[in-house]
Structures are given as structure tokens and as C-alpha cells.
Amino acid sequence: MPGNSFGELFSITTFGESHGAAIGVIIDGCPPGLALSEKDIQPDLDRRKPGQSKITTQRKEEDAIHILSGVFNGKTTGTPIMLMAYNKDANPKDYEKLKDLYRPSHADYTYDLKYGIRDWRGSGRASARETLARVAAGAIAKKYLKEKCGVEFLSHVVQIGTIRADIDMQKVTSKAIDASLVRCPDKSASDKMLKLIEEVRKEGDSVGGIIRGLVRNVPPGLGEPVFDKLPADLGKAMLSINAVKGFDFGSGFGGSIMRGSDHNDEFILSSLRGSAKQSYPKGSKNITTKTNNSGGTLGGISTGEDIYFRVAFKPVASIALQQNTVTRSGKATKISVEGRHDPCVLPRAVPIVDAMAALVLMDHYLRNKAQNG
Amino acid sequence: MPGNSFGELFSITTFGESHGAAIGVIIDGCPPGLALSEKDIQPDLDRRKPGQSKITTQRKEEDAIHILSGVFNGKTTGTPIMLMAYNKDANPKDYEKLKDLYRPSHADYTYDLKYGIRDWRGSGRASARETLARVAAGAIAKKYLKEKCGVEFLSHVVQIGTIRADIDMQKVTSKAIDASLVRCPDKSASDKMLKLIEEVRKEGDSVGGIIRGLVRNVPPGLGEPVFDKLPADLGKAMLSINAVKGFDFGSGFGGSIMRGSDHNDEFILSSLRGSAKQSYPKGSKNITTKTNNSGGTLGGISTGEDIYFRVAFKPVASIALQQNTVTRSGKATKISVEGRHDPCVLPRAVPIVDAMAALVLMDHYLRNKAQNG
Amino acid sequence: MPGNSFGELFSITTFGESHGAAIGVIIDGCPPGLALSEKDIQPDLDRRKPGQSKITTQRKEEDAIHILSGVFNGKTTGTPIMLMAYNKDANPKDYEKLKDLYRPSHADYTYDLKYGIRDWRGSGRASARETLARVAAGAIAKKYLKEKCGVEFLSHVVQIGTIRADIDMQKVTSKAIDASLVRCPDKSASDKMLKLIEEVRKEGDSVGGIIRGLVRNVPPGLGEPVFDKLPADLGKAMLSINAVKGFDFGSGFGGSIMRGSDHNDEFILSSLRGSAKQSYPKGSKNITTKTNNSGGTLGGISTGEDIYFRVAFKPVASIALQQNTVTRSGKATKISVEGRHDPCVLPRAVPIVDAMAALVLMDHYLRNKAQNG
Amino acid sequence: MPGNSFGELFSITTFGESHGAAIGVIIDGCPPGLALSEKDIQPDLDRRKPGQSKITTQRKEEDAIHILSGVFNGKTTGTPIMLMAYNKDANPKDYEKLKDLYRPSHADYTYDLKYGIRDWRGSGRASARETLARVAAGAIAKKYLKEKCGVEFLSHVVQIGTIRADIDMQKVTSKAIDASLVRCPDKSASDKMLKLIEEVRKEGDSVGGIIRGLVRNVPPGLGEPVFDKLPADLGKAMLSINAVKGFDFGSGFGGSIMRGSDHNDEFILSSLRGSAKQSYPKGSKNITTKTNNSGGTLGGISTGEDIYFRVAFKPVASIALQQNTVTRSGKATKISVEGRHDPCVLPRAVPIVDAMAALVLMDHYLRNKAQNG
């Protein structure tokens, strides 16, 4: 497949440019019988939407999602589900002055290299607006997994610039995440982050940060050994999001300085920990681990413990501050990318991380079903 | 595909268990006409081989590779290339005492969860011995890319435990890497790392670290926007290697604390930098970037600048020190994994990182050929 | 992929139900730089459209196609192209009486078996209306191949019921095909076929037939040996069209009674035949074959000779005549499928056969580009 | 994938040339826990083996199959199964005189066109010897489906040259098929076919024919609507076999002359037919069809009725009779392909048809498992 599809069995294919007619996605492989309407999808899109608050881009997009196929009488039928949002606030003229310039650290240059042609209206296909389609598809995966196995997706911001939050992973709730404008469930850090973002905006600059992905109640046995290990697929999913520069899971980069004797997660009987671990069909004898440096997988396969990982975002490339660059025809010039850009993309990226995690888990959930024949 | 294949157009499928009859790989999609013999592959396997020096596992494996198809009169024919090495030093009895125990942080437990059955001889399919097949396939990709575009793969160790090397990426050479037993081209750090590994071995423990992947002379235009971004595929490739816990590229996690104004790579005319940049078919006007925080890609597509990334390895799970665990039937017990394990896997993992990077680039090289019709 | 995608490198994914909101397709992998507008696509849809003449279903569908992405300033950009037509004449109430009945030889029954739920409005996803999306995507492939290599797609009707046409394949023209309401370029047979279809309609019955696919100026070297042989992929493409029961190519079923000495296509120098054979990059020395029982491929790879094949259609299942059947709950009953059904689907299926052939050739054209690195 | 793989979830990848070191296959996706040894596979290979009787090629190949991975303690483990047979009777010198000639209706010419290089030893990769790998893989699929659902594969020869057998499909048994040297369970026709093949051999010629595929006890609900319809995948599978020129299922080409009122399969309650139809999980209310012109599928999905189809083989291209051809460098010459070729490939092709049918059904069996989540 040429690169706009993701997933083997719960497979999505996205389309659309930032300032084209529409952005959308076909989901192929959704099991039949799932109750589904636009109302199940819209809330996730609203979490991702520009213009939610003063700290996000002021582009006004309704981003109203439409289901155009695959649902009948309120239920999925097993046929492809097409979801689409029209681009209503498209205003390509804003971008005309950029069409012969290469914005620093943007994809303008590489699209030209690769294709010899590019849609310069608001980054075209390279715009983060494409993630709308991912969030819409992810909402279906989330709903399915929630209903079938109680899986919860609880990504949250843990760092913006140099401000780090202090969060007990065991206690994170969906409510606490959304109580914070920056989606960081540590009130004190959240306040500082908010302030930092405001400062950065005023400076015409941008700032990066880290989102922690967190998934609870993961069914054990998901993930394929060798190439399609669960963390490998999660990593690819996250690294395919615009502005992401890094991914680690469990102990991650921190684990690289540890000794095996500290890092290994000893197996214990779950009764010892008092956890009410879900019983697994093949009889797992209520085994659990004392620690979870592994981040919820061993050998690429889920253990049933929480999956957690970090996603590093660079500061967004669009800044109002003046920078040097060159024109398409190779002349040195100056550029200042004014407009409605987020000074910090992380708060809006939280639902994207959740969506991508849900797409990966849903795909492996179906692959696992197939596997045992 | 069920998980043992990697790549769309230069596609590999691996097979084999650690103590089964053989380990091997089919490469489907290698272009015809490439001169190829076992001699092109064996050196990379020797870099990965156990028992190379006192710091690696003492398992003796010849790991002699055989080409069983796809090559005729010394050249590839465009048909599948099958490469295989027999397992000569297999000694399953060593493992019999482990067959009913779950080694901490090993895949024993999850294989049982997923399949209800597992080959307990030396981790079976979950053994890192599987990477032999990747290195063999990667050697072909490396040779092809070297001959066609002069691409160089120069991964090296930059950290073991808390010892960090100080290396100028511009000056790394293949020779300097292999002059170090730990494959770290910083003599002073290399000596300390060696000493640390010896200590850790004596303690019956293990230690993790970081490999930096480095690729020079990358053809511009490789990588697909959206899901199959080049860094996303590189990330998946690395995260599919046993013991890897993290991946970042360019500025990576460090980039997350930066401002856009510092992070952005300004475009400049390459004449300004004095670089003899290869001219690109579509006329890139000799554009380059002043810095390379992007790590050689923009919007998921290679710019032609060096690609670099970091791969974090946890300490290997097999340690001689005693640990708590449970048996297959759910009883608490103690375990001590004696035997011929590496106290530090990184020196041998360097060729694996190179191989996986080569497989990703080769695949995208062919995809890019298709793309423009 | 779960079954609604076709093609590896020129990959299409279709969506939509007969009486849902819309029918459409995403084309992923179209090379950049192809001039494209709705006007390039609409004529093929009009050839497939219901209500074209008195012999087709009287359902009125504008079937106006819209390009929603992937085209900028009149050219393809290399990003996914989304094509969609709204369902304007949808009138689900017509079908309500059928929702608990299994129409004989329809997919109602198997959809229920497989999914436990089905969209009963006009066959839902199982409707031949889905082929609209294929024809739209195929129009792009046809245009590309025409411009790049002069490939021509000239499918035509050769049999309806027991009436067989007598057509010299060498002389078939696009104009002659469309001069006939049934798309059979043998005037005498065409008249008889027309009369037969009218009779069958009056009887409330339906009739089958055979379309011959014909492709001229095929680039040599297309098709993969072993599983993805060109005729295997053409066969799959044709057998995936509703109502198709058979496919053969070249000598086909007729070849099964021949001797090798009669069937083999002797190689000759093309100068002997006076043909102006296109010269092939690798230097084919102007070799051609005396006969073409092979149908334009050898070992699954195109020779450059004309590709021709036959596609057998059963009579459409929807007939006004009364039949026995059972209800969803398992009671015997009678059924008469009244409405706007074609008594013979072949004239409208001609552009579908062309489209599917074009999709297969386009995909292999791109795969062949990749192959040689 | 570049063309040497088949199947999405029960996925096989084959390798090997006719006179190379070995022929083999990796099966990825076989469920764990299936009892498996070489003894389960060898009998099917023996049915396909050359030199079985006086009517097949006299090439002596042991074709002894080896399982090199994926099986532990006599059971599949869910990891890739590698099967391989060494080429023992390889004698490339026999072919040296053919290396610069294009044998009529062979793939020599197109391999040269496509790759610019070819292994000329016994057709290299284009040899029907590659089907050994398919039969080996198919044996595993057959065993699995037999054990899980009692599926039976009963392909048999129905026509050789102009001799047609008269066989009641309901009564075909495995024993009756193998009682005939030509695998045609009509004694009278079988005798005539045998005689014909002997005559053709003496003449130095070859002859084609038709195999009917027959599958009993097919689980209902297999097959994906739209592109991956069950008959479409079966068609592709059959059309990928060397020498196959056509495929039809159910009424097939014969159905094209019928009226809908004759062709439609009326639904009836199975109690009316006295059949002990297996009960289907979703509650099919014991519905069956009065006739089976559909050939066991509706809308591309299996009904549970018998699947039957025809596969047309051309006469093999290798004949001792002299023919005209050209050399690689474009000079007219004569050729006579002497050696150990089958005058009729059909008897040995019967197990190949069964194997390919089993691979398709097995793949869809697993896809169906995934589908319902």
C-alpha cells in the first residue's frame, strides 16, 4: 500500500488536504453489530479541534463528522465505514505568499523533491489537519475495545518545554486530564505550562514537550512476535504523527542505564498484590509482575499489565519570528510564518495519541482472534 | 501478513527457532543483476556472531550462511533469495530445567498466554538469534544501496550504563567503529565501557545502553507521507529488535524542550556551506540546511542530509543473579539463568541496527521508484 | 486488508451502499503530475450508468462524480485521490418488503450468515452499484496508461444468451463498440441481442452472456511470476465483479482440447510479420510470435502482444417471475423481484471490465518500475 | 509483497529454482497446537511427484520434505513453519543447449524481457517444480480444515483432450479418484484418457484438459464481499498454476446462456431435502438451496453447499516435435525440447488444485475468525 493506510485487519485509509474540499477516512474491518453514530465520534474530534481555547490555533473549523457508509439502523454492518468532515474555514489565499518559499523544518521542500508538485495551501496533505481522520477512526476502535474488554485510553501531557509534571500513573483519570486546558493532570505543572505557552505565543515562538500514553485493561496476548511486536507498532503509529521525534515504552531511555537485576520484572502471584486481575481464557493462573518496567509487554506481546509509553514532540515549525530560508528557485530570503498556529501542539495532540494507540490495539485484537483459528 | 515479514517491496520473511534445525530468511523483491555470494553476507554475520570476544556470549556458532535460491552465475535473478544457517551448537538440554519456569522479563510467559504452547529451547522463536536472519538480509540491502547510491551505514555505541561517549558524527568511520571491541569510536569511553561490562559479567548481572544509528549519502525523496514516514518505519524496525525500549531521531527527546526558533533548520544554499551535495533529478537547486535537528527527514521524507537516530536497549533479561518468579502452574519459586549470555548486548546489536536501517531504506528506495510511474 | 481494497501500488479502497449516502473510492498511489478533472472520469461512468437506454434499468442516477482530494491546479499531486458520487435516486422504501426474504441467488442470505446484520436497501453493499467506484478509479488508470504507453482498453460483448457474435479482434475499435446499444461491434449479432433482451424483459426474466476483454499496446514485462501472474490478477479482478461466473484468457477453455504442437506460439522475427512493434528498453530484438494462443502473456508476464480474455456473466438474479424462497425466520414463501432491474447486465458491464483490467495493468506497471531498482 | 507470497493470514512465501539447491516455503500464520510431522505432508507430495507412473515425466525426485521450524514436540507452535525439499536429480547440463533459445510458449522470453537475466536450468523459477512448495503448504491447510470442520478436497480430472468423463459430483470419493492413474473417477473415460496420453507421448506431443475442483463441508460465511470474494480468490489461486488458461465455478461459462429463472437457486428448508446440514452459529434456520448453480457461494461468500469449479489446462509447452523459434540474439532457428516432460500434466496437477483450494479456504477461515471480533 502506498502509505495512506494503517492496520492489517482494522485498516484505515485517509485522504484529504488541509484546504481541499474535505478530510476523511475509510475504516475497513470494523466488526458488525457495534452501535455507532456521529455522537460517538464527535467528542474526540472536539478534543483535537483548533480554537478550543485561547492556547490553540484560532482557525475555526466545525469539524463536524459525517458517517457516509457502513452503518445501518444505528449499527455497523461489517462493510467499510466512511467518515468525512468538510473543510469550511479554508482560506487558501493566506498561503499564496508561501507557495514559492520553503518554510524551515516544514515538508514543503521534501514534497517538492519527491513529487515535483505540491498543494501549498496550508501544507496540503502534510498538514496536521490529516490527523482529524485518525481521531475519527480511533474513536470507533476505542468504543469497540471499551465495550468488549473495558480498555481505557488515558494519554496526558507530562512535559512542556522544561516543565515536568509529577503524576502517579495509577491514579490518572479521564476527568482529571480534561480538567486541565493543557491536558496535564498535575494542577501545579498544568498552570505553569499554560503560562509558558502564553509567553511563547507572545514571543511568536513555539515549544515542544512530551505526552505519556497510558492504556488500562489491555487484553493479554496482543502483538505478534518478531516484526509486528506491539511496541513496534505503537512506535510506528506515534512516529507517524506530525512533529513527533521520539517514542519509548516502559522504562524506555531510562532503562538503558539500568542493570538487569533492577530492571527485570519479577513474576508474582496476583493474589500477593491483591489485584483483581482479569482471568485469561488459557488459564494464566493469576500471574502478574511485581514491577512494570516492561511497560505492559514481553517479547512484543501484551501481558495484561498497563501499557505506557512516551511520545516526544518537537516545537511546531510554524513561527512568527523571522527566519532565513530559500525560495523554490534557490534564492536566499527571509520568512515569517504568521497566522493561526498553535504555539504548542501537545494539548490537541493528546486525543491523537489515544486514537493511534486504539487503532494499534484494535488491529492486534482482531489479529489475535484470527490466530488461534 | 502474520508478523514474520518486513517490507513492502524489498520484503523479508524470517523463520527458525534458537535451537531448531536452522534460522533463515526469504528476501522477495531484490532487483536482478546484483553480484552476490555468501562472501557479501558473512562479514556482517560475523560482526553479530556470539563468541567474537571475551565480552560476548560464549555460545559457539559458526553461523555460516548459505544461499539456496535466487542467485545464478553469481548474480541475483529477481526471484526470491533464500538464506539459511544451520544451528550447530544447539543444546536444548541446557534449557530443560527452564521449561516450566517463567524467566523474569522474558517472553516465556506471553508466548504461553498467546499460543498455549512454546518451544522452550533457548527462548525458541523469541531468541535474539532470529536477528541473524535480519542481518543476512540487511547485508544485501546494504550492498545494493552502496553500489547504487553510495549509502553508508555507520551505527555505533554511544552509551553503556551511565558511560556516555563523546563522538563527532561527521567524523565517524567504519574503521573507527570496529577498532573498538564495544563498537564505540571514542577510545576513552570505549575502554570504560569494556571495563564496566567485565564487572557486570562477574556480578552475574547485565547492563543496557544506547546505539546511535547513522546513515550517510541518503537519496532524497525516500519515505511516504502520513503513515509510512521514513522515521516511523525506522522506528518500527528498531523497536522490533529484542531488548529495545526506545527510539528517537534528530533532536529526539532532547528536541522536546526546545523552542521552534532554536529547533528549526534554516534552509541555505549549499554553496554557502561548501558541501558537494549530490544533484537531485528534479532540480533541488543545491539547497541544504544550516543545521540538522530534523535528523535527515522532513514530513517523513528524506532530505538528503544524514539520517541519525538513537536506539535504547534495556539490560538483557537473562542474569545469573537469583530472582523470584513463578512456575507455569502458578507456584512461587526462585530462578537463576546461568549459561552463556551476554552481559551487554549492544556491541553485537550494532550490525542489527545497521541491517534494519538498510532494510527500511531499501524498501523505500524501491517504493519511490514505483511512485513516479 | 479486509477485502475492500484492490492493488498493491495503485491501490483502491471502495465504500458505500446502494441506497446509503454515497458511493466512492480512495485511489492511493497515483503518480503525481497527471492532468485530471471530473471530465476525465464522467464519460466512463456514463457508459456504466443505469437508464442509458431502454435496455437498462430505469433507475435514474446522475452519478455525477466529485474529486475531493489529491488534485491541485488540475494535476494529481501523489496524494490520495478521493472520488465520490452521491446517491440521489435512493428510495429504500421500495425494498422494505424484501427485508425479511432471501432473494434466490442473491447475497442476502450469505450476508446474514456472515455478519448477522445487513443493509437490505437495494442489496446494500452487495449491489452492483459498488462498481461505480471501480469504473471511476479505472478511468484514472486508463488515462495514465494511455498517455504513458498508448494502452487501449477495448472490451466488448461477444455473446448474449445463445447469440454469438463474429468479431475480428484485430479490427475492433472503440467507436464500433459504442455504436451498438449492447456494445457488440457485430451489427447483425447486436441487433439479435437487442431483440432478445427486449423479449426477456417482457417475460420478466433475465439472460447472461460473455464479454471479451481486449487490451492493446501492453508494455512487455508486466506481471509477477508465481502467484501474481498477470492473468491470475486479471482473473481475480474479473471474478470479483457481481454476476461473473468464469474467466479464461488466450485459448482458454478451448485450449484444453488442443495438442501442444497446435497450441504453442512459435517465436518469429517481427519484421517477418511486418508489425511495427514498440522497442523495449532491454532490447527485445524485435521478437514476436506467429500466433497468440497465449493471450499476451507467458509465465504470467506480458509479452507485448494483445491481451485478450473472456468473462462469463450469469443472468442477473433479480427477476419479476415468481420464485420459491424462504423468509429470514425460515418459512417457505414466494417472491417476485419487481423493480428497475436490467434484464441483461452485459452492456453496462463492459466499462467495468475495462476498468478492472486497467487497474490490474496500472498496478503491475508500477510494480515493474519498482522491480528493477 | 513482490509476488512470491499468497494469503493474508495463512500466508505462504515460496522460493527455489528447478535445478537450484532446494525448493521450499515458509507458512506464516498456522494456528498453534496442530499435530504435524513430515508424514502429514509427504503423501500429497507423492501424488504430485514426477515418475509416479509411466504417464508422467521420468525425472526421479525423492521430493522428501523436511520441516525446519515452527513445530515442537510434534505440534505447531504458531511460529513460521519452513518446509523444504532438496533438488537431488538436478542435472543442469541437459539444459545448456537451451540457454540461448526461446522455447515456444515458455517463460524464457518474458523472464529475459523483465529481468534481463534468467536461470535457464530447467526453466529455473518458472518451472512447475515450484508447485511442490504449494502442495506442501496446502497439506497443512487441508489437515487443519479437516480436523476443525471436516472439509474435504476432492478435485479430479474431468476431461483430457476431447475425452470427457461423466461423473456424479455427489458420489466422488477420494478412493475412486486415486484408483485411476489419471485421477478421473470414471473408469471408462479414465481408460481412454490413459490411452490418449500414451499416444500423445509417442508422437512427441502434449495434450491439455480440465480438472474439476470440489470441496465438501465448507463452513458457511467464508469469503469477503467486493474484491476478495471467495471465487475471486479461488480463481486467482488456480490461474497462478503453470499452464492454466481458465477458471469457472458453479454454472460457469455454461451459465452464460441461461435465463435467470433457470439459473437461480431457490431457497428451501433443508428438512425438505433430507440433508443433515450442519448448524451454523448465527442460526441459519436450516436453510439450503434446491439447486447449486451458484457453486457454493453467493455474493462471494460461502453458503455451506459444495464448492465446485473447473480449471482448464493448456497442453504443456515442452514437446519433442520440432518447432520454429528464435535465439536470444534474434536469429531464426529450430527447436525440439527433448527430455523427461509429461505429455499431460493433469494427473499430477490434481493435488496442486486441491492444495491451492485449501490455502484459499484456510486463509478465509482465519479472516472470518478475525472479522467478528
Backbone angles phi, psi at C85, to 5 degrees: -125, 135
| Closest by Cβ to C114, choosing from D14, D301, D315 | D301
Share the mean pLDDT of chain C.
92
Q: What is the mean pLDDT of residues D344-365?
A: 97
Architecture, CATH, for domain C5-250+294-365: 4-Layer Sandwich (3.60)
Share the mean pLDDT of chain A.
92
Q: What is the mean pLDDT of residues D140-160?
A: 97
pLDDT-derived band of residue D235, with 50, 70 and 90 as boundaries?
A: very high
Beta carbons of A26 and C29 less than 8 Å apart = no
**Cβ distance A266 to A293 under 8 Å?**
no
CA distance C42 to D203: 56
Q: Cβ contacts of residue C293 below 8 Å, gap of 6+?
A: C250, C251, C255, C258, C263, C264, C265, D105, D314
Q: What is the pLDDT of residue C10?
A: 97
CA distance C213 to C172: 11
Q: Closest approach of chain B CAs to the CA of C27, in angstroms?
A: 13
pLDDT-derived band of residue A353, with 50, 70 and 90 as boundaries?
A: very high
pLDDT-derived band of residue D49, with 50, 70 and 90 as boundaries?
A: confident
Q: What is the pLDDT of residue D32?
A: 97
Paired residues of B212 in beta bridges: B156, B310
Beta carbons of C256 and D210 less than 8 Å apart = yes
CA distance A44 to A22: 18
Burial readout C122-143 (b: 16 or more C-beta within 10 A, e: otherwise): bbbbbbbbbbbbbbbbbbbbbb
CA distance C208 to C344: 6
Sort strands C301-302 and C307-313 into parallel, antiparallel or unpaired: unpaired
Q: Cβ contacts of residue D350 below 8 Å, gap of 6+?
A: D47, D155, D156, D157, D177, D183, D211
Can you say how many angstroms the Cα of residue D49 is from the centroid of all Cα atoms in its chain? 13
Residues C68-87 have pLDDT tens digits of 999 999 999 999 999 999 99
Q: What is the mean pLDDT of residues D118-127?
A: 92
Share the mean pLDDT of chain B.
92
Query: Comparing A337 with C306, which gets the higher pLDDT?
Result: C306
pLDDT-derived band of residue C60, with 50, 70 and 90 as boundaries?
A: low
Q: What is the pLDDT of residue A38?
A: 98
Task: Tell me the three cell numbers of residue D213.
Answer: 475442483
Residue where the block lists cell 577510545: B187
Beta carbons of A107 and B299 less than 8 Å apart = yes
- CA-atom Rg of chain D in angstroms: 21
Query: Comparing C4 with C287, which gets the higher pLDDT?
Result: C4
Beta carbons of A264 and B159 less than 8 Å apart = no
Best residue in C68, C81, C115 for a mutation probing chain A (most A CBs within 10 Å): C68
Rounded to 10 deg, the angle between the A131-149 and A346-371 helix axes is 50
Nearest chain D residue (CA) to B75: D117
Q: What is the pLDDT of residue B59?
A: 56
Q: B-chain residues within 8 Å CB-CB of A368?
A: 114
Residue type, A4: N
Residue where the block lists cell 504449494: D134
Q: What is the mean pLDDT of residues A122-144?
A: 96
pLDDT surpassing 90 at residue D272: no
Residue type, B241: I
Nearest chain B residue (CA) to C144: B373
**Cβ distance A229 to A300 under 8 Å?**
yes
pLDDT surpassing 70 at residue A61: no
Residue where the block lists cell 415468481: C322
pLDDT surpassing 60 at residue C127: yes
D38 touches chain C (CB under 8 A): no
Extents of the domains making up chain A? 5-250+294-371
Beta carbons of D371 and A29 less than 8 Å apart = yes
Point out the least confidently predicted range of A4-18, A199-213, B86-100, D46-60.
D46-60
Where are the alpha helices (H) located in chain A, listed in sequence order?
Answer: 42-48, 108-115, 131-149, 174-178, 187-203, 230-239, 252-255, 260-263, 270-273, 346-371
B277 touches chain A (CB under 8 A): no
Among the listed residues C137, C26, B319, C257, the one whose alpha carbon sits nearest the alpha carbon of residue D312: C257
**What percentage of chain B exceeds 70 in pLDDT?**
92
Q: What is the pLDDT of residue D339?
A: 73
Interface predicted TM-score of the whole assembly (ipTM), two decimals: 0.95
Q: What is the pLDDT of residue B339?
A: 73
A285: how many CB neighbours lie within 10 A of its CB?
16
Task: Tell me the three cell numbers of residue D183.
Answer: 485421477
Residues C151-206 have pLDDT tens digits of 999 999 999 999 999 999 999 999 999 999 999 999 999 999 999 999 999 999 99
Sort strands A75-76 and B22-28 into parallel, antiparallel or unpaired: unpaired
D79 touches chain A (CB under 8 A): yes
Residues B207-258 have pLDDT tens digits of 999 999 999 999 999 999 999 999 999 999 999 999 999 999 999 999 999 9
Q: B-chain residues within 8 Å CB-CB of A330?
A: 269, 285-287
Q: Which of residues 120-159 of C touch D (CB under 8 A)?
A: 125-126, 130, 159
CA distance D246 to C232: 10
Nearest chain D residue (CA) to C211: D256
DSSP state of A101: B
End-to-end CA distance of chain A: 26
Residues in chain B: 373
| Closest by Cβ to D373, choosing from A8, A369, A371 | A369
pLDDT-derived band of residue A281, with 50, 70 and 90 as boundaries?
A: very low
| Closest by Cβ to B371, choosing from C8, C31, C371 | C31
CA distance D134 to D142: 12
Q: Closest approach of chain D CAs to the CA of A241, in angstroms?
A: 25
Among the listed residues A190, A201, A199, A128, the one whose alpha carbon sits nearest the alpha carbon of residue A160: A190
Where are the alpha helices (H) located in chain B, listed in sequence order?
Answer: 42-48, 108-115, 131-149, 174-178, 187-202, 230-239, 252-255, 260-263, 270-273, 346-371
Sort strands C66-69 and D66-69 into parallel, antiparallel or unpaired: unpaired
Burial class (CB in 10 A: 0-12, 13-18, 19+), D269: middle
Per DSSP, the three-state class of A234 is helix
Among the listed residues C312, C311, C318, C313, the one whose alpha carbon sits nearest the alpha carbon of residue C126: C318
Q: What is the pLDDT of residue B24?
A: 98
CA distance B52 to C73: 60
Q: What is the pLDDT of residue C52?
A: 73
Among the listed residues A87, A156, A160, A149, the one whose alpha carbon sits nearest the alpha carbon of residue A124: A87
Q: What is the mean pLDDT of residues A262-273?
A: 83
pLDDT surpassing 80 at residue C57: no
Q: Closest approach of chain B CAs to the CA of A73, in angstroms?
A: 32
Per DSSP, the three-state class of A292 is coil
pLDDT surpassing 60 at residue A69: yes
CA distance B55 to B347: 9
The count of C-alpha atoms lying within 13 angstroms of the C-alpha of B69, restricted to the half-sphere facing its C-beta, is 28
| Closest by Cβ to D256, choosing from C125, C287, C312 | C312
Q: B-chain residues within 8 Å CB-CB of A287?
A: 102, 109, 326, 330
| Closest by Cβ to A69, choosing from C16, C28, C79 | C16
Question: D285's torsion region: left (phi>0), alpha (psi -120 to 50) or beta?
Answer: left
CA distance C172 to D315: 29
**Cβ distance A4 to A47 under 8 Å?**
no
Residues B171-215 have pLDDT tens digits of 999 999 999 999 999 999 999 999 999 999 999 999 999 999 999
Point out the least confidently predicted range of A73-82, B274-283, D102-111, D359-368.
B274-283
Q: How far is CA D64 from each of CA D53, D60, D139, rounded to the nearest angstrom?
A: 18, 12, 14
pLDDT surpassing 70 at residue A92: no
Q: What is the pLDDT of residue A301?
A: 97
Give me the CATH topology for the region B5-250+294-371. Answer: Chorismate synthase, AroC fold (3.60.150)
D38 touches chain B (CB under 8 A): no
Q: Give CA angle at A29 (A240, B356), nearest 5°.
A: 35
pLDDT-derived band of residue A8, with 50, 70 and 90 as boundaries?
A: very high
Q: What is the pLDDT of residue C51?
A: 67
Residues B27-56 have pLDDT tens digits of 999 999 999 999 999 999 999 987 677 666
CA distance D297 to D250: 9
pTM for the full model? 0.96
DSSP labels for B264-299?
A: ---EEEHHHHT--PPPPTT--TTEEES--TT-SEET
